[in-house]
Amino acid sequence: MKLDARRAAAVLADPGPFRAVLLHGDDAGLVRERAEALVRAVLGGAMDDPFRMAELNREEAAKAGALAGEVAALAMTGGRRVVRLREATDAHATALKDALATPGEALMVLEGGELTARSKLRVLAEAAPEVAVIACYRERGEELAGTLGRMLKEEGVSADPAALSWLAARLGEDRMQTRREVEKLALYVGRGGRVDEDAAMACAAEGSTADLDEALMAATAGDAALADRALSAAFAEGANPVQVLRAALRHVQRLHEAALAGDASVLRPPVFFRHKPAFDRALRAWSPAALEAAGAALLEAEKRTKTTAFRDADAVIARAALMAIARQAAARR
Protein backbone atom coordinates (compact mmCIF):
# COMPACT_ATOMS: atom_id res chain seq x y z
CA MET A 1 0.00 0.00 0.00
CA LYS A 2 1.12 3.52 -0.75
CA LEU A 3 1.90 5.49 2.42
CA ASP A 4 1.71 9.20 3.11
CA ALA A 5 4.58 11.02 4.82
CA ARG A 6 3.25 10.54 8.37
CA ARG A 7 2.68 6.80 8.02
CA ALA A 8 5.95 6.41 6.15
CA ALA A 9 7.88 7.84 9.12
CA ALA A 10 6.20 5.36 11.46
CA VAL A 11 7.01 2.39 9.19
CA LEU A 12 10.65 3.46 8.85
CA ALA A 13 10.91 3.41 12.64
CA ASP A 14 9.06 0.09 12.95
CA PRO A 15 8.09 -1.91 9.83
CA GLY A 16 6.02 -4.17 12.07
CA PRO A 17 3.74 -6.55 10.15
CA PHE A 18 4.86 -5.49 6.67
CA ARG A 19 6.69 -8.20 4.75
CA ALA A 20 8.27 -5.82 2.26
CA VAL A 21 8.97 -2.12 1.79
CA LEU A 22 9.42 -0.66 -1.69
CA LEU A 23 11.34 2.62 -1.74
CA HIS A 24 11.24 4.49 -5.05
CA GLY A 25 11.81 7.97 -6.42
CA ASP A 26 14.26 10.37 -8.00
CA ASP A 27 16.34 10.99 -4.85
CA ALA A 28 18.68 7.99 -4.76
CA GLY A 29 20.33 9.27 -1.58
CA LEU A 30 17.00 9.40 0.25
CA VAL A 31 16.20 5.87 -0.95
CA ARG A 32 19.49 4.63 0.51
CA GLU A 33 19.04 6.56 3.74
CA ARG A 34 15.57 5.15 4.32
CA ALA A 35 16.68 1.62 3.41
CA GLU A 36 19.41 1.85 6.04
CA ALA A 37 16.88 3.15 8.57
CA LEU A 38 14.72 0.07 7.94
CA VAL A 39 17.70 -2.24 8.37
CA ARG A 40 18.56 -0.58 11.69
CA ALA A 41 14.93 -0.77 12.83
CA VAL A 42 14.87 -4.54 12.33
CA LEU A 43 18.43 -5.58 13.22
CA GLY A 44 19.26 -3.03 15.89
CA GLY A 45 22.72 -3.89 17.23
CA ALA A 46 23.01 -6.95 14.96
CA MET A 47 23.77 -4.96 11.79
CA ASP A 48 26.86 -7.07 11.11
CA ASP A 49 25.19 -10.44 11.70
CA PRO A 50 25.53 -12.28 8.35
CA PHE A 51 22.81 -14.73 9.38
CA ARG A 52 20.21 -11.96 9.70
CA MET A 53 21.19 -9.85 6.69
CA ALA A 54 21.13 -10.89 3.04
CA GLU A 55 21.87 -8.57 0.11
CA LEU A 56 20.94 -9.50 -3.44
CA ASN A 57 22.07 -7.68 -6.54
CA ARG A 58 19.81 -7.03 -9.51
CA GLU A 59 20.86 -10.15 -11.43
CA GLU A 60 20.69 -12.52 -8.44
CA ALA A 61 17.22 -11.36 -7.41
CA ALA A 62 15.85 -11.86 -10.94
CA LYS A 63 16.68 -15.58 -10.86
CA ALA A 64 13.69 -17.83 -10.21
CA GLY A 65 13.26 -18.62 -6.52
CA ALA A 66 16.22 -16.54 -5.29
CA LEU A 67 14.23 -13.87 -3.44
CA ALA A 68 11.66 -16.36 -2.15
CA GLY A 69 14.44 -18.61 -0.87
CA GLU A 70 16.00 -15.80 1.15
CA VAL A 71 12.62 -14.83 2.57
CA ALA A 72 11.96 -18.40 3.74
CA ALA A 73 15.40 -18.84 5.35
CA LEU A 74 15.65 -18.73 9.14
CA ALA A 75 18.33 -16.86 11.07
CA MET A 76 20.62 -19.27 12.91
CA THR A 77 21.09 -16.71 15.68
CA GLY A 78 17.37 -15.93 15.99
CA GLY A 79 15.49 -12.75 15.25
CA ARG A 80 13.95 -11.34 12.10
CA ARG A 81 16.05 -11.31 8.95
CA VAL A 82 16.36 -8.55 6.34
CA VAL A 83 16.65 -9.22 2.62
CA ARG A 84 17.87 -6.11 0.80
CA LEU A 85 17.59 -5.67 -2.95
CA ARG A 86 19.24 -2.65 -4.55
CA GLU A 87 18.27 -1.43 -8.03
CA ALA A 88 14.83 -3.05 -7.95
CA THR A 89 13.08 -2.83 -11.33
CA ASP A 90 10.06 -4.23 -13.12
CA ALA A 91 12.16 -7.31 -13.84
CA HIS A 92 11.71 -8.20 -10.15
CA ALA A 93 7.90 -8.02 -10.08
CA THR A 94 7.51 -11.79 -10.49
CA ALA A 95 10.21 -12.44 -7.88
CA LEU A 96 8.37 -10.22 -5.37
CA LYS A 97 5.06 -11.92 -6.14
CA ASP A 98 6.60 -15.36 -5.55
CA ALA A 99 8.32 -14.20 -2.36
CA LEU A 100 5.05 -12.84 -0.94
CA ALA A 101 3.44 -16.24 -1.63
CA THR A 102 6.23 -17.96 0.32
CA PRO A 103 5.92 -18.24 4.14
CA GLY A 104 8.64 -16.36 5.96
CA GLU A 105 9.24 -13.61 8.52
CA ALA A 106 12.04 -11.75 6.78
CA LEU A 107 11.58 -8.11 5.78
CA MET A 108 12.30 -7.40 2.12
CA VAL A 109 13.75 -3.93 1.49
CA LEU A 110 13.55 -3.05 -2.21
CA GLU A 111 15.38 0.06 -3.42
CA GLY A 112 13.96 1.28 -6.73
CA GLY A 113 14.64 4.26 -8.91
CA GLU A 114 12.10 6.45 -10.70
CA LEU A 115 9.25 3.94 -11.09
CA THR A 116 6.27 5.28 -13.03
CA ALA A 117 2.68 4.82 -11.83
CA ARG A 118 2.34 2.03 -14.42
CA SER A 119 5.47 0.21 -13.30
CA LYS A 120 4.75 -3.51 -12.86
CA LEU A 121 6.72 -3.63 -9.62
CA ARG A 122 5.03 -0.54 -8.20
CA VAL A 123 1.51 -1.64 -9.24
CA LEU A 124 2.06 -5.04 -7.59
CA ALA A 125 3.46 -3.50 -4.40
CA GLU A 126 0.73 -0.87 -4.05
CA ALA A 127 -1.96 -3.54 -4.43
CA ALA A 128 -0.45 -5.79 -1.73
CA PRO A 129 -1.51 -4.89 1.84
CA GLU A 130 1.62 -6.55 3.24
CA VAL A 131 3.92 -4.26 1.23
CA ALA A 132 4.59 -0.63 2.19
CA VAL A 133 5.37 1.68 -0.73
CA ILE A 134 7.25 4.87 0.17
CA ALA A 135 8.03 7.57 -2.39
CA CYS A 136 11.43 9.27 -2.10
CA TYR A 137 11.29 12.46 -4.16
CA ARG A 138 13.66 15.41 -4.06
CA GLU A 139 12.50 18.22 -1.80
CA ARG A 140 12.36 21.83 -2.90
CA GLY A 141 11.88 25.30 -1.42
CA GLU A 142 10.32 25.56 2.03
CA GLU A 143 10.03 21.79 2.42
CA LEU A 144 13.78 21.37 1.87
CA ALA A 145 14.56 24.35 4.11
CA GLY A 146 12.57 22.67 6.89
CA THR A 147 14.48 19.42 6.42
CA LEU A 148 17.80 21.26 6.50
CA GLY A 149 16.77 22.98 9.72
CA ARG A 150 15.92 19.62 11.33
CA MET A 151 19.19 18.08 10.16
CA LEU A 152 21.19 20.95 11.64
CA LYS A 153 19.23 20.68 14.89
CA GLU A 154 20.19 16.99 15.08
CA GLU A 155 23.81 18.13 14.86
CA GLY A 156 23.27 20.60 17.71
CA VAL A 157 23.28 23.65 15.44
CA SER A 158 20.65 26.32 14.69
CA ALA A 159 20.27 28.38 11.51
CA ASP A 160 18.91 31.72 10.32
CA PRO A 161 15.92 31.51 7.93
CA ALA A 162 17.91 33.40 5.27
CA ALA A 163 20.72 30.84 5.49
CA LEU A 164 18.26 27.96 5.15
CA SER A 165 16.70 29.59 2.07
CA TRP A 166 20.13 30.07 0.51
CA LEU A 167 21.06 26.45 1.18
CA ALA A 168 17.71 25.17 -0.10
CA ALA A 169 18.37 26.86 -3.45
CA ARG A 170 21.61 24.92 -3.85
CA LEU A 171 21.11 21.54 -2.21
CA GLY A 172 18.51 18.79 -2.45
CA GLU A 173 19.51 16.77 -5.52
CA ASP A 174 20.61 13.86 -3.37
CA ARG A 175 19.82 13.35 0.33
CA MET A 176 23.20 11.79 1.14
CA GLN A 177 25.06 14.71 -0.43
CA THR A 178 22.79 17.17 1.41
CA ARG A 179 23.48 15.43 4.71
CA ARG A 180 27.25 15.62 4.10
CA GLU A 181 26.95 19.38 3.50
CA VAL A 182 24.95 19.74 6.73
CA GLU A 183 27.60 17.81 8.68
CA LYS A 184 30.29 20.05 7.18
CA LEU A 185 28.33 23.15 8.21
CA ALA A 186 27.88 21.82 11.75
CA LEU A 187 31.63 21.27 12.07
CA TYR A 188 32.27 24.75 10.65
CA VAL A 189 30.17 26.64 13.24
CA GLY A 190 30.70 24.15 16.08
CA ARG A 191 28.14 22.48 18.32
CA GLY A 192 25.79 25.07 19.78
CA GLY A 193 26.67 27.52 17.01
CA ARG A 194 24.39 29.23 14.54
CA VAL A 195 24.54 29.14 10.75
CA ASP A 196 24.02 32.55 9.16
CA GLU A 197 24.25 33.49 5.49
CA ASP A 198 27.97 34.22 5.72
CA ALA A 199 28.68 30.82 7.28
CA ALA A 200 26.52 29.04 4.70
CA MET A 201 28.29 30.77 1.81
CA ALA A 202 31.75 30.27 3.31
CA CYS A 203 31.17 26.55 3.82
CA ALA A 204 28.74 25.40 1.14
CA ALA A 205 29.60 27.78 -1.71
CA GLU A 206 32.91 26.07 -2.32
CA GLY A 207 34.03 23.73 -5.06
CA SER A 208 31.55 22.38 -7.59
CA THR A 209 28.52 24.25 -6.18
CA ALA A 210 30.09 27.69 -6.62
CA ASP A 211 31.51 26.82 -10.04
CA LEU A 212 28.19 25.43 -11.21
CA ASP A 213 26.35 28.56 -10.05
CA GLU A 214 28.81 30.68 -12.03
CA ALA A 215 28.42 28.46 -15.11
CA LEU A 216 24.62 28.72 -15.05
CA MET A 217 24.58 32.47 -14.55
CA ALA A 218 27.13 32.99 -17.33
CA ALA A 219 25.26 30.69 -19.73
CA THR A 220 21.88 32.37 -19.40
CA ALA A 221 23.54 35.81 -19.56
CA GLY A 222 25.24 34.85 -22.84
CA ASP A 223 28.87 34.54 -21.74
CA ALA A 224 29.73 31.19 -23.33
CA ALA A 225 33.46 31.33 -22.59
CA LEU A 226 32.97 31.94 -18.88
CA ALA A 227 30.22 29.31 -18.74
CA ASP A 228 32.52 26.72 -20.34
CA ARG A 229 35.42 27.45 -17.95
CA ALA A 230 33.20 27.38 -14.88
CA LEU A 231 31.52 24.14 -16.00
CA SER A 232 34.93 22.49 -16.50
CA ALA A 233 35.87 23.56 -12.98
CA ALA A 234 32.58 22.18 -11.61
CA PHE A 235 33.18 18.80 -13.26
CA ALA A 236 36.74 18.77 -11.91
CA GLU A 237 35.38 19.41 -8.41
CA GLY A 238 33.01 16.43 -8.64
CA ALA A 239 29.78 17.72 -10.20
CA ASN A 240 27.99 15.06 -12.23
CA PRO A 241 26.12 15.64 -15.53
CA VAL A 242 22.65 14.94 -14.16
CA GLN A 243 23.30 17.35 -11.29
CA VAL A 244 24.35 20.00 -13.83
CA LEU A 245 21.24 19.53 -15.98
CA ARG A 246 18.86 19.57 -13.01
CA ALA A 247 20.51 22.68 -11.57
CA ALA A 248 20.24 24.32 -14.99
CA LEU A 249 16.55 23.43 -15.17
CA ARG A 250 15.89 24.94 -11.73
CA HIS A 251 17.72 28.10 -12.76
CA VAL A 252 15.71 28.38 -16.00
CA GLN A 253 12.48 27.80 -14.06
CA ARG A 254 13.35 30.63 -11.68
CA LEU A 255 14.08 32.88 -14.64
CA HIS A 256 10.73 31.88 -16.14
CA GLU A 257 8.89 32.71 -12.90
CA ALA A 258 10.59 36.11 -12.74
CA ALA A 259 9.93 36.76 -16.45
CA LEU A 260 6.20 36.08 -16.02
CA ALA A 261 6.07 38.46 -13.05
CA GLY A 262 8.29 41.02 -14.73
CA ASP A 263 10.39 41.29 -11.59
CA ALA A 264 12.97 39.04 -9.89
CA SER A 265 11.86 40.25 -6.45
CA VAL A 266 9.01 37.69 -6.49
CA LEU A 267 11.48 34.81 -6.21
CA ARG A 268 11.86 32.81 -3.00
CA PRO A 269 14.59 32.35 -2.03
CA PRO A 270 15.72 35.69 -3.49
CA VAL A 271 18.53 35.90 -6.03
CA PHE A 272 21.92 35.87 -4.32
CA PHE A 273 23.26 39.45 -4.43
CA ARG A 274 26.50 38.45 -6.19
CA HIS A 275 24.49 36.82 -8.97
CA LYS A 276 21.95 39.61 -9.41
CA PRO A 277 23.73 41.48 -12.26
CA ALA A 278 24.00 38.30 -14.38
CA PHE A 279 20.46 37.26 -13.46
CA ASP A 280 19.08 40.65 -14.50
CA ARG A 281 20.96 40.49 -17.82
CA ALA A 282 19.46 37.08 -18.48
CA LEU A 283 16.00 38.31 -17.54
CA ARG A 284 16.25 41.08 -20.13
CA ALA A 285 17.41 38.65 -22.83
CA TRP A 286 14.91 35.82 -22.43
CA SER A 287 11.15 35.74 -23.04
CA PRO A 288 8.90 33.34 -21.08
CA ALA A 289 8.30 31.29 -24.24
CA ALA A 290 12.03 30.97 -24.93
CA LEU A 291 12.65 29.90 -21.33
CA GLU A 292 9.96 27.23 -21.65
CA ALA A 293 11.73 25.88 -24.74
CA ALA A 294 15.08 25.93 -22.93
CA GLY A 295 13.56 23.99 -20.04
CA ALA A 296 12.16 21.37 -22.42
CA ALA A 297 15.60 21.01 -24.05
CA LEU A 298 17.21 20.44 -20.65
CA LEU A 299 14.66 17.74 -19.78
CA GLU A 300 15.39 16.02 -23.08
CA ALA A 301 19.13 16.23 -22.41
CA GLU A 302 18.66 14.55 -19.02
CA LYS A 303 16.72 11.70 -20.68
CA ARG A 304 19.59 11.23 -23.11
CA THR A 305 22.13 10.92 -20.28
CA LYS A 306 20.15 7.96 -18.94
CA THR A 307 20.10 6.09 -22.25
CA THR A 308 23.60 6.67 -23.62
CA ALA A 309 25.90 3.64 -23.76
CA PHE A 310 29.14 5.55 -24.29
CA ARG A 311 31.54 6.38 -21.49
CA ASP A 312 31.62 10.08 -20.58
CA ALA A 313 28.89 10.80 -23.17
CA ASP A 314 26.61 12.15 -20.43
CA ALA A 315 29.15 14.89 -19.62
CA VAL A 316 29.31 15.80 -23.30
CA ILE A 317 25.50 15.99 -23.43
CA ALA A 318 25.33 18.24 -20.36
CA ARG A 319 28.03 20.56 -21.68
CA ALA A 320 26.36 20.78 -25.10
CA ALA A 321 23.01 21.64 -23.49
CA LEU A 322 24.54 24.45 -21.42
CA MET A 323 26.54 25.83 -24.35
CA ALA A 324 23.39 25.85 -26.50
CA ILE A 325 21.71 28.03 -23.87
CA ALA A 326 24.75 30.34 -23.78
CA ARG A 327 24.69 30.76 -27.57
CA GLN A 328 20.96 31.50 -27.57
CA ALA A 329 21.40 34.05 -24.80
CA ALA A 330 24.25 35.75 -26.66
CA ALA A 331 22.15 35.97 -29.81
CA ARG A 332 19.19 37.39 -27.90
CA ARG A 333 21.32 39.89 -26.05
The pLDDT score that the predictor gives to residue 205 is: 56
- pLDDT greater at residue 237 or residue 92: 92
The pLDDT score that the predictor gives to residue 305 is: 84
Is residue 207 pLDDT above 50, yes or no? Answer: no
Instruction: Please tell me the pTM assigned to this model.
Output: 0.62
Question: What CA–CA distances, in Å, run from 87 to 5, 66, 67, 109, 125?
Answer: 23, 15, 14, 11, 15
The pLDDT score that the predictor gives to residue 206 is: 53
* Choice among 118-122, 188-192, 310-314 with the minimum mean pLDDT: 310-314
The pLDDT score that the predictor gives to residue 204 is: 67
Domain positions in the chain:
5-135, 141-204, 207-332
Of all residues in the chain, the percent with pLDDT exceeding 90 is 36
Q: What mean pLDDT is predicted for residues 138-158?
A: 88
The architecture in CATH of the region 207-332 reads Up-down Bundle (1.20)
Q: What mean pLDDT is predicted for residues 217-233?
A: 89
The pLDDT score that the predictor gives to residue 143 is: 83
Q: What mean pLDDT is predicted for residues 323-332?
A: 90
The architecture in CATH of the region 5-135 reads 3-Layer(aba) Sandwich (3.40)
pLDDT tens-place string over residues 260-319: 888 888 777 677 777 888 888 888 889 999 999 999 999 999 888 877 656 678 889 999
Backbone φ/ψ region at 79: left (φ over 0), alpha (ψ -120 to 50), beta: left
The pLDDT score that the predictor gives to residue 57 is: 87
The pLDDT score that the predictor gives to residue 110 is: 96
Of all residues in the chain, the percent with pLDDT exceeding 70 is 96
Q: What mean pLDDT is predicted for residues 100-116?
A: 92
pLDDT tens-place string over residues 66-103: 999 999 988 877 788 999 998 899 999 999 999 999 99
The architecture in CATH of the region 141-204 reads Orthogonal Bundle (1.10)
pLDDT tens-place string over residues 11-27: 999 998 899 999 999 88
